Amino acid sequence: MRIGLSPGITRALVIAVVLAAGPAGARADGTGTYYDRSFVLAAHEKCRLFQAPVAGALAAATLQARGAALRAGTPEATVRATADRARVRARQVSCADPELATVRDRVAHAFAGWQRTPRMDFIGERGTWTADRVRREASAWRLAQPSMTGGSPVRFGISADADGRESLTAVVSFVGRPRPYAARLVMRDPDLAARPWLTAAGSAVLPPVSARQQMLSAGTAPAAQTLLAMGRKQGEVWTFPATVGEALSRLDPREPFVLEFLFRDGSVAPAVFEAGDFAAGRAFVALGPV
């Protein structure tokens, strides 16, 4: 016996309406939006419903809905269970179900505009990731969050060089001398601490040293002028391995991570960032330049 979406035309319309609300709607809808988007994404992975641009936009929106649910205080275990239920439901649906075709068409229409969107802000509790897909002939930020260390501006994210090659990058403009000899990222290690460390108010903080991981920069060079903060004339760019992106994507969106610049006199200059919707922003950037 084939299991379809029935009494699913109503459910199909609900999914389509939720998706048509666009990425901003994810913030208010909690696990309901995350379930719907996870279901459609799982159905796509099973039935190949969408072309790559729509599938990429849907993946980014699903990650954003996950972040919204976690920021709303939904336990991570509940969020995981929501995704599991959506995948189970998708496995039960026939790829030939006409109601699934209704969902496919409405989702494709809902995201047709989003996949052409050149810029988007992924707003967190304390920090914002700004994504920029505009094609440029000079080095540019694709995804970045600003911070400060002392009076020096710092940005971290994904940058692209003049040839379009992307890398995980930090750019800092220190005043005067000396310059740091190394940079590292410090964050929770999910293999050592399965859940984020939360304060009584619900904000996440770095866990004890025993539950952290550190990831060193792969190198440094003078920063391109187009990567510097406004009003700065010089700075250094520090590049990080691709594994950093995977590590950040595993964090709770409320969690901080710290970029530390190390000096030969033993001092450390920290810049604090928020994990936020890094994973969603990275998926959005992966749609390619427009």
Q: Model pTM greater than 0.95? A: no
What is the CA angle 249-271-166, rounded to 5?
50
pLDDT for 75 beyond 70 = yes
Q: Residue 210 has what pLDDT?
A: 96
Q: Residue 234 has what pLDDT?
A: 93
When pLDDT is cut at 50, 70 and 90, the band that residue 45 belongs to is: very high
Q: What is the DSSP letter of 4?
A: -
Q: Which range has the worst mean pLDDT, 78-82, 169-173, 207-211?
A: 78-82
Q: Residue 102 has what pLDDT?
A: 87
pLDDT for 240 beyond 90 = yes
Among 155, 163, 93, 112, which Cα is nearest to 135's? Answer: 163
Mean pLDDT, residues 8-20: 48
**Selected residue with higher pLDDT from 199 and 16:** 199
Q: Residue 16 has what pLDDT?
A: 53
175: its two tokens: 């005043």
When pLDDT is cut at 50, 70 and 90, the band that residue 22 belongs to is: low
Q: What percent of the chain has pLDDT over 90?
A: 60
Q: How many H helices and E strands in the chain? A: 7, 13
Give residues with Cβ within 8 angstroms of 7, minimum separation 6: none
Q: Residue 177 has what pLDDT?
A: 73
pLDDT for 94 beyond 80 = yes
Helices 26-47 & 52-71 angle (0-180, nearest 10) = 140
